[in-house]
């Protein structure tokens, strides 16, 4: 609220200043456009901040360390993400969510996240689940479809089904932050 009020005030001041300086209508339109862009940028910045109400996106479960070994360690997770991302991009429902994303970054952060959750010596560099999925309009069917594509990828890498489910059991509650529709 405070930020938007401030922005509104800026806009008003800019408009008043413009009027005072007897700017041409073209110049005035340009100034208004600049103010609008500045407001949009501010809104984006605000969205990129970590949400203090969001749960830890990568809680560590040291007891799952043996499961990480079944995934082939951090290297195994990196290989898994190549298959996973290819599957997502090829999927009718999932493709549009990832086509324009920084795929290398998404893969790296997913591997980091899974590695930390499975008790590995990794650091997660991504944002929380609420912030990173805000405004994407993800529904339950989307969420479940992503799980299915991940299951197919894990099968392709011969991750035992029980190990898959131990990871999925930790990821599943994230639907509360990810699913917004």
Partner 1 sequence: MNRRARTPARCLLALALCAPAGVALAQSGDTADGVGGKLLLTGGVTQVEGAAGGGLTPWAVIGGYGTRDQIGANAFYTRVDVDDYALDSYGVLVGFHDRVELSFSRQKFDTQAVGGALGLGNGFTFTQDTVGVKVRLFGDAVLEQDTWLPQVSVGAQYKRNDQAGVLAFVGARDDSGIDYYASATKLLLDKSLLLNGTLRLTKANQFGILGFGGDLNDDYEAQLEGSVAYLLSRNFAIGGEYRMKPDNLGIAEENDAWDVFVAWAPSKHVSLTVAYVDLGNIVIADNQRGLYASLQVGF
Token representation of residue 138: 């993800």
- Determine if 142 is a binding residue for partner 1 (CB under 8 A): yes
- Determine if 168 is a binding residue for partner 1 (CB under 8 A): yes
Looking at 18-26, 46-54, 86-94, 129-137, which segment touches partner 1 (CB under 8 A)?
Answer: 86-94
Q: How far is the CB of 46 from partner 1 (least distance, A)?
A: 29
152, 86, 72, 180: which is closest to 120 by C-alpha?
A: 72
Q: How far is the CB of 112 from partner 1 (least distance, A)?
A: 21
The alpha carbon torsion through 172, 176, 178, 180 (nearest 10 deg) reads 140
- Determine if 79 is a binding residue for partner 1 (CB under 8 A): no
Decide: 113 and 124 in contact? Cβ < 8 Å: yes
149, 144, 81, 152: which is closest to 115 by C-alpha?
A: 81
- Determine if 161 is a binding residue for partner 1 (CB under 8 A): yes
The single residue among 93, 119, 126, 156 that binds partner 1, judged by CB under 8 A, is 93
C-alpha 174/C-alpha 62 separation (Å) is: 19
Binding site for partner 1 (CB under 8 A): 91-93, 139-145, 147-148, 151, 155, 161-162, 165-166, 168-170, 172-173, 175, 181
């Amino acid at each position: 609220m405070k930020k938007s009020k401030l922005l509104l005030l800026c806009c008003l001041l800019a408009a008043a200043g413009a009027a005072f300086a007897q700017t041409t209508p073209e110049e005035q339109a340009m100034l208004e456009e600049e103010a609008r862009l500045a407001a949009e940028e501010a809104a984006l910045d605000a969205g990129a901040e970590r949400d203090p109400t969001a749960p830890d996106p990568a809680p560590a479960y040291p007891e799952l360390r043996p499961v990480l070994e079944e995934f082939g360690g951090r290297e195994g997770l990196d290989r898994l993400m190549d298959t996973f991302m290819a599957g997502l991009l090829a999927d009718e429902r999932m493709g549009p969510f990832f086509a324009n994303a920084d795929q290398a970054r998404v893969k790296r952060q997913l591997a980091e996240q899974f590695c930390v959750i499975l008790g590995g010596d990794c650091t997660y560099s991504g944002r929380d689940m609420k912030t990173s999925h805000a405004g994407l309009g993800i529904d339950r069917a989307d969420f479940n479809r992503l799980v299915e594509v991940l299951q197919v990828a894990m099968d392709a890498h011969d991750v035992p089904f029980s190990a898959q489910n131990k990871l999925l059991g930790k990821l599943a509650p994230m639907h509360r932050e990810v699913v917004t529709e």
